[in-house]
A = this chain, B = another copy of it.
Amino acid sequence: VHAIGLNRADLLYLAGAHYVPSTYPSRICVEACGVVDAVGEGVTNFGIGDRVTAIPCPDPDYAVGGQWAITPARFLMPWPAGVPAERACAFWMQYGTAYYPPHEYRRIGPADTVLITAASSSAGLGAIHLARLLGATVIATSRSHAKTDQLRAQGAHHVIATEVENLAERVMQITGGTGVGLVFDAVAGRFIRSYIDAMAQNAHAYIYGALGGDPSIEYPIAAVLRRGITLQPYSAIPPMADPVLLRRMKQFLSLAQQAGHLCPVVDRVFAFDQVRDAYDHMLGGTQIGKIVLHVR
């Protein structure tokens, strides 16, 4: 392993709060890049010495946080030439998470407007990049306006600061009263109520995180029925565990990567033995993009 990408899901797993049940002792981390030391029987697509990146694998036995890691061959992809380790290890979780709702589940395009909450996280930035690639209009949210310039630089057409602006009112202004067709939300809990009135008829919200601190879904029935909208918890792990959906994701994202459309933002690189400092930095909430551990 040369570098490891850190995720909030690692902390949930450590706390026993991840939806994948924690069983100790256990490895952690689902993103890394490195060089193949050995291959199992029947593995033909990778060989010793190949440079590879790991796709998040649903089985904690194959977690990749360490100086070495074992993972199924279908959860590996080539580490593209010219991509530094800290970016190679930061690709698949953010873009894989951002991939399924707009491309497989809803198939958004240039006529659509997407709302991306807590947009400065790695998954939020991945969602901005992917929504832009698909041609959509992107509205990003952050708590304050401290990160507005960076979010615009990453592709957001509009940025709303949820602690100082009324989210639904601003979205309705921006969309001319139509609302957004897709929400990609990392906050959850009661924050959901703030964007329901920003959703278009029959819109979908995918809730993939609980940065608000309350790992639950809460919303009024009447508002949801009135709009015919759907709000659902989402994780990329189940579709990635499906061989067909995994293959489609790998193909689309690696083509987009090769074409230069998707490039992870790296917030900060920590040394391998600074892992606690790295997670503390994540909890501080000032990051923009991915926090990475350098291994060798």
Interface residues of A (CB under 8 A from B): 17-21, 188, 207, 210, 215-226, 228, 230-235, 237-238
Contact = CB atoms under 8 A, between A and B. Distances in A.
B228 A238 contact: yes
A19 B215 contact: no
Contact of A19 (B207, B219, B226, B238): B226
Given A228-B238, A230-B232, A238-B228, A18 B222 contact: yes
Given A228-B238, A230-B232, A232-B230, A219 B222 contact: no
A221 B225 contact: no
| A-B pairs, 9 with minimum CB distance | A19-B225, A19-B222, A19-B226, A221-B233, A224-B233, A218-B218, A215-B221, A216-B220, A225-B235
17 contacts: A17-B222, A18-B222, A19-B222, A19-B224, A21-B226, A210-B221, A215-B220, A215-B221, A216-B219, A216-B220, A217-B221, A217-B224, A217-B231, A224-B233, A225-B235, A225-B237, A230-B232
Nearest to A21: B226
A234 B220 CA distance: 12
A64 to B, nearest CB: 21
Contacts of A224: 19, 217, 233
A207 B221 contact: yes
Nearest to A226: B19
**Copies in the assembly, this chain:** 2
A19 to B, nearest CB: 4
B215 A217 contact: no
A90 B191 CA distance: 40
A183 B265 CA distance: 43
Nearest to A228: B238
A221 B188 CA distance: 9
Contacts of A218: 216-218
Contacts of A21: 226
B215 A222 contact: yes
Contacts of A220: 215-217
Contacts of A210: 221
B217 A219 contact: yes
Interface centre among A207, A215, A224 (most CB of B within 10 A): A224
A238 B233 CA distance: 23
Contacts of A223: 19
Contacts of A217: 217-221, 224, 231
Given A216-B218, A228-B238, A230-B232, 10 more contacts: A19-B226, A188-B221, A210-B221, A215-B221, A217-B231, A218-B218, A221-B233, A225-B233, A225-B237, A232-B232
A221 B233 CA distance: 6
